[in-house]
Structure 1
């Protein structure tokens, strides 16, 4: 299976980058080390100068791939959601039971992340930590509407759309499918953050996972309705 997937390429909207980082060894090192560095020092303290020093290259070489660090964050978040979408589609495509399919989808977007050996230059565990801590910074900007029109968030919205469609397959009369689907995806990040930093205000812990919580929320909502 690893051999079959070795040529898989996660697609990121091409307007986000100047040059595709997947197209060169330097580009892959930029992505690999940016994940490590952002996870280590946080996005606010992250700069291309620090990244250049880490990869042993000039700061200008990073600018050949990304216009600024905001675009780099958009790349990382888009890659992450595309990777989650790939896992969701792969895990559910042969399922015929609609409820089992939705359960698997919820598990995929809410689970604790394990590293994927298919992509050797990306540490998905560290990237997941970045998504939990920093994802909102990719869209809480003055430019969000313009960037949305440019398609920067298409992967994220497509993932939520897949879950929405699964909800409507089970209950076509449910009025809040989009809201519920986006709550699962976004809420999972928040619950993982609370477990790590504010455990007193969440019921999720080592025994009750965000997956348990959101399966309860989703199925109670769509069946009650």
Structure 2
């Protein structure tokens, strides 16, 4: 899978950006350092002015790629979900049994992230932390319905649909496959957040992972 992913290009809705950051060295630096800075200071404190200083470029050069930092966050989170989707597809494509395929998918979606050397300008470990801490800010906005109609969340929705279909393959009489699929994906982020910041509110720890919890939850639900 490592070698297959080396040629991967996650295709983001072109309405999210003004100029594709993957098309230039400056664009890739914008993505690389925005991940580092948002992880370090949080999305609220992050600005294009600070990013420009960090990369040694004018603030206006960042605006040539993204209209605002909300669109940048949409880009980063969309890229993350696309990267997860590709891993899921490659890892499960040759698994014949529905139960094993679903179990592997849950593992990929809920596991702790390791650095992927295929993308030198994207630190997936830090991007995962950003998604855990900041993803809800990409859709908890007044514009969410409009942005949804324009396809800004299509990659995320496609991932939920893939997982829903796998749930249906395991038990086609289960009444809530979409709800369960979205609960796994969103819930895994929340469990990782609780594990890091509110450990008394979760059973996940160094021994019990979100993957363990959601595998147990899903297969008990599908009995």
TM-score range (shorter-chain normalised) is over 0.9
Listed as ranges, the gaps of 5+ residues in structure 2 are none
Output the CA distance in 1 between the equivalents of 2:20 and 2:45: 24
Q: Which residue of 2 aligns with 1:102?
A: 102
Output the CA distance in 1 between the equivalents of 2:3 and 2:111: 25
TM-score of the aligned structures, taking structure 2 as reference length: 0.98
- Displacement of 1:6 after TM fit? 2.6
Output the CA distance in 2 between the equivalents of 1:208 and 1:3: 31
- Give the secondary-structure state (helix, strand or coil) at the position aligned to 1:96: coil
Output the CA distance in 2 between the equivalents of 1:4 and 1:135: 27
- Displacement of 1:11 after TM fit? 1.2
Output the CA distance in 1 between the equivalents of 2:61 and 2:219: 49
Listed as ranges, the gaps of 5+ residues in structure 1 are none
Correspondence 1:210 to 2:210: yes
Q: Which residue of 1 aligns with 2:27?
A: 27
The Cα offsets for residues 12-59 of structure 1, whole Å up to 9 and x where unpaired, read as 111100000000000000000000000000000000000000000000
- Displacement of 1:2 after TM fit? 4.8
Correspondence 1:146 to 2:146: yes
The Cα offsets for residues 94-131 of structure 1, whole Å up to 9 and x where unpaired, read as 11011000000000000000010011100000000000
- Displacement of 1:3 after TM fit? 5.0
Output the CA distance in 2 between the equivalents of 1:170 and 1:142: 37
- Give the secondary-structure state (helix, strand or coil) at the position aligned to 2:49: helix
- Give the secondary-structure state (helix, strand or coil) at the position aligned to 1:120: coil
CA RMSD of aligned residues (A): 0.9
Q: Which residue of 1 aligns with 2:183?
A: 183
Within a 5 Å distance, the mapping from 1:111-130 to structure 2 comes to 111-130=111-130
Q: Which residue of 2 aligns with 1:200?
A: 200
Q: Which residue of 1 aligns with 2:37?
A: 37
Q: Which residue of 2 aligns with 1:79?
A: 79
Q: Which residue of 2 aligns with 1:157?
A: 157
Within a 5 Å distance, the mapping from 1:165-176 to structure 2 comes to 165-176=165-176
- Displacement of 1:10 after TM fit? 1.2
The Cα offsets for residues 110-161 of structure 1, whole Å up to 9 and x where unpaired, read as 0000010011100000000000000000000000000000000000000010
TM-score of the aligned structures, taking structure 1 as reference length: 0.98
Change (3 A) 1:2 1:214: closer
- Give the secondary-structure state (helix, strand or coil) at the position aligned to 1:18: coil
Change (3 A) 1:170 1:5: closer
Within a 5 Å distance, the mapping from 1:83-94 to structure 2 comes to 83-94=83-94
Output the CA distance in 2 between the equivalents of 1:210 and 1:4: 27
